[in-house]
C-alpha cells in the first residue's frame, strides 16, 4: 500500500510541482477528483500565482483576485458576493469556488472536515498577503459554486 501511495504521490508532484503543499495522506479524499478537477484552467492559473500579489492591492483583495482567474466573474470585489456565482454545488469539488463570509478561494483538495484552498490575500507565515494555499474547516464555507 505504501509503494502505491508513494508512486501516486510522486506522479502527482511531477504532473504539477506546485501542488507539493497538498496534504496527502489518510485525511485527503477524492484524489481521483483532484486529477479531474486539476484540468480546470483557473485552478492551474491560481496555483501558478502562489507567492505573488498580482492585484497590487494591500487589503481585502481575495474577491478581486478571483475576478482575475475565474471565467465569467462577478462584478463585485466582495468575497461573500461569490455565493451567487455560477451554479451551486451541494459540497466541495476540486476547482470549485468556496465562499466564506470574509474570504473566497478555489478548492484544491478536501476531506471530511476541511478544504484546502488556493486564494488571494492569504496570510503566510510572515504575515505577507499573497496568493497562497490554506486549509479551512468545511463548517466555515457558506457556498460552493461552479462556473
Take residue 146 and report the three cell numbers written for it.
461552479
Give residue-wise pLDDT tens across range 51-104: 999 988 888 899 999 999 999 999 999 999 999 999 999 999 999 999 999 999
The residue ranges of every structural domain in the chain are 2-146
Take residue 3 and report the three cell numbers written for it.
509503494
For the beta sheet containing 143-146, the strands, ordered from the edge strand earlier in sequence to the opposite edge, are: 87-89, 143-146, 97-100, 103-110, 114-123, 129-137
Give residue-wise pLDDT tens across range 3-56: 444 443 333 333 333 333 333 332 333 333 344 445 789 999 999 999 999 988
For CA atoms 50, 123, 22, 65, the dihedral sign is negative
Q: What angle do CA 118, 116, 42 make, to 5 degrees?
A: 35
Radius of gyration of the chain (CA): 15
- Report pTM: 0.73
Q: Residue 56 has what pLDDT?
A: 85
**Alpha carbons 144 and 21: distance in angstroms, whole number:** 22
Q: Residue 59 has what pLDDT?
A: 82
Secondary structure (3-state) at 141? coil
Place 128 in a pLDDT band, splitting at 50, 70 and 90. low
CB of 83 within 8 A of CB of 63?
A: no
Give how far the C-alpha of residue 68 lies from the chain's centroid of Cα atoms, to the nearest Å. 14
Amino acid at each position: 500500500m505504501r509503494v502505491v501511495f508513494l508512486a501516486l504521490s510522486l506522479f502527482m508532484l511531477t504532473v504539477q510541482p506546485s501542488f507539493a503543499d497538498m496534504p496527502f495522506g489518510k485525511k485527503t479524499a477524492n484524489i481521483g477528483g483532484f486529477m479531474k478537477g486539476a484540468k480546470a484552467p483557473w485552478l492551474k492559473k491560481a496555483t501558478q500565482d502562489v507567492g505573488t500579489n498580482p492585484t497590487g492591492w494591500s487589503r481585502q483583495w481575495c474577491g478581486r483576485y478571483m475576478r482575475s482567474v475565474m471565467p465569467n466573474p462577478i462584478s463585485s470585489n466582495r468575497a461573500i458576493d461569490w455565493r451567487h456565482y455560477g451554479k451551486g454545488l451541494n459540497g466541495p469539488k476540486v476547482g470549485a469556488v468556496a465562499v466564506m463570509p470574509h474570504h473566497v478561494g478555489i478548492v484544491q483538495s478536501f476531506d471530511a472536515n476541511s478544504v484546502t484552498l488556493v486564494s488571494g490575500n492569504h496570510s503566510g507565515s510572515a504575515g505577507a498577503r499573497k496568493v497562497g494555499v490554506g486549509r479551512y474547516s468545511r463548517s466555515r464555507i457558506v457556498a460552493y459554486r461552479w462556473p
